């Protein structure tokens, strides 16, 4: 009887313990906001993980995809360069130059010292000058864009692709005013990579800028930066003989980068790397690709690009600058204290010389458009046609006058 009571008590105690445990589980699952089934399932999964491994069932379990190291490390720079990199080329040039022997070696004193039989070459001597730059293919037929100064007066041009293929290049056209040139290669039926061209008019300050080229002979070099500013006049860059508004970037551009592409984050060409400023760190300049689009077809056909000009040397004038000039007792002339474009000089045998413009005149209007700086005046002239007559309004001393000037082709 005693044994039966003990077993009955133990049975009730076991049931009570199980009920208590079940209630605790339900309570804590409710507190955690989880259904009881989830708790039970988690317990089962935990048990399975701590026991022998089981093979996943492909019908019910999603197998994670393997991520390659290339996918894991890829960036927008990598994607951009992969899109364009094969279309970037190295351009090697050779040019024969003639040099005269230094007259010092023909001096009688020199000959007395070394003897008359001293072997010294007579007459002009020829030498070979080599250069290197970059470029990029814009057409599957082998049309390449680069800088004019890269192929300037070259007798031989060799184009090397990233995959090692080399081609003889022919300079189709050069425009020194915009520092652009087109080189043509014969693909001989082979497929050529082509760089996608972007829209430089949509570029904004702060956008990513990726420079690709062959600086200092180091092929396939990529540098990264941002667009520092837009429409930087060539005069401010230090190349007043050019007519360009550059894209300024802090992406490293070194000798040999010239002619290579400047890319946006999508891998589209937005500019052509063309200049670095001497003595500056982290400042480079590129020709907007839209400018190249305008004249590349003309250059590819060997045509001359029209560049109207009037033939003046000019600076931007402000009332403050004029006042400082007029207060200087040594100033050669007195100028109106206004905003405009001051004529500093007139080039001989130019449209300006024939129009009656004088040094010291201040141009305040051209073809009905007010002008307050030299860049604005230059842009109006550049956008006109060769042989077009432009109407000027000038201030000469205290008088306002109107002049007509007919543009000519810049040579």
pLDDT of residue 167: 96
Q: Which of 29, 149, 265, 367 is catalytic?
A: 149
Active site residue 149: yes
- List the chain pLDDT tens, one digit each, 411 residues: 444 444 444 455 444 444 444 444 334 344 444 433 333 334 333 333 333 333 344 344 444 455 455 555 679 999 999 999 999 999 999 998 877 666 655 566 555 656 555 555 556 677 888 999 999 999 999 999 999 999 999 999 999 999 999 999 999 999 999 999 999 999 988 899 999 999 999 999 999 999 999 988 888 899 999 999 999 988 888 887 888 899 999 999 888 899 999 999 999 999 999 977 777 778 999 999 999 999 999 999 999 999 999 999 999 999 999 999 999 999 988 999 999 999 999 999 999 999 999 999 999 999 999 999 998 999 899 999 999 999 999 999 999 999 999 999 998
Q: What does the alpha-carbon distance between residue 395 and residue 121 come to, in Å, rounded to a whole number?
A: 61
Q: What does the alpha-carbon distance between residue 126 and residue 94 come to, in Å, rounded to a whole number?
A: 13
Active site residue 307: no
Q: Which of 179, 234, 296, 355 is catalytic?
A: 179
Q: Which helix (H) or strand (E) holds 167?
A: strand 166-175
- Bridge pairing between strands 245-249 and 284-288: antiparallel
Q: What does the alpha-carbon distance between residue 368 and residue 365 come to, in Å, rounded to a whole number?
A: 6
Residues in the chain: 411
Which whole-number Å values give the CA distances from 184 to 75, 159, 292, 302, 409, in the listed order? Answer: 33, 9, 16, 11, 26
Q: What does the alpha-carbon distance between residue 178 and residue 364 come to, in Å, rounded to a whole number?
A: 27
Q: Which of 258, 296, 355, 384 is catalytic?
A: 258
Q: What does the alpha-carbon distance between residue 93 and residue 146 come to, in Å, rounded to a whole number?
A: 13
In this prediction the pTM is 0.73
Active site residue 258: yes
Q: What does the alpha-carbon distance between residue 135 and residue 157 come to, in Å, rounded to a whole number?
A: 12
pLDDT of residue 333: 87
Which whole-number Å values give the CA distances from 389 to 313, 386, 403, in the listed order? Answer: 19, 9, 10
């Amino acid at each position: 009887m005693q044994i039966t009571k003990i077993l009955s008590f133990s049975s009730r105690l076991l049931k009570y313990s199980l009920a208590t445990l079940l209630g605790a589980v339900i309570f804590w699952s409710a507190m955690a906001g989880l259904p009881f089934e989830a708790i039970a399932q988690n317990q089962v999964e935990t048990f399975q993980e701590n026991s022998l491994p089981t093979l996943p069932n492909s019908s019910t379990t999603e197998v994670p995809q393997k991520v390659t190291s290339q996918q894991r490390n890829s960036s927008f720079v990598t994607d951009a360069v992969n899109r364009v990199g094969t279309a970037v080329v190295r351009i090697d040039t050779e040019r024969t130059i003639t040099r005269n022997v230094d007259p010092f070696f023909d001096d009688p004193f020199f000959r007395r010292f070394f003897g008359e039989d001293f072997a010294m070459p007579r007459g002009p001597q020829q030498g070979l000058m080599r250069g290197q730059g970059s470029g990029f293919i814009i057409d599957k037929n082998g049309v390449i864009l680069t800088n004019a100064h890269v192929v300037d007066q070259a007798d031989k041009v060799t184009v090397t692709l990233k995959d090692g293929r080399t081609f003889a290049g022919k300079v189709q056209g050069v425009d020194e005013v915009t520092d652009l040139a087109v080189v043509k290669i014969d693909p001989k039926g082979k497929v050529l990579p082509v760089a996608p061209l972007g829209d430089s008019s949509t570029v904004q300050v702060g956008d990513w800028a990726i420079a690709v080229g062959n600086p200092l002979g180091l092929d396939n070099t990529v540098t990264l930066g941002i667009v520092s500013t837009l429409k930087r006049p060539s005069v401010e860059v230090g190349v007043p003989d050019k007519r360009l508004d550059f894209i300024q970037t802090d992406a490293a551009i070194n000798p040999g980068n010239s002619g290579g592409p400047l890319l946006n984050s999508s891998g589209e060409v937005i500019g052509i790397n063309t200049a670095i400023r001497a003595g500056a760190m982290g400042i480079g300049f590129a020709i907007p690709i839209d400018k190249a689009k305008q004249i590349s077809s003309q250059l590819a056909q060997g045509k001359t690009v029209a560049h109207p000009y009037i033939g003046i040397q000019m600076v931007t004038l402000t009332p403050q600058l004029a006042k400082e000039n007029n207060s200087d007792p040594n100033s050669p002339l007195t100028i109106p204290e206004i905003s405009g474009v001051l004529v500093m000089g007139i080039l001989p045998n130019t449209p300006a010389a024939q129009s009656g413009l004088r040094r010291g005149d201040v141009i305040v209007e051209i073809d009905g458009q007010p002008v307050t700086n030299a860049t604005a005046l230059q842009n109006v002239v550049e956008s006109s046609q060769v042989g077009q007559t432009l109407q000027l309004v000038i201030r000469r001393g205290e008088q306002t006058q109107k002049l007509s000037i007919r543009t000519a082709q810049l040579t």
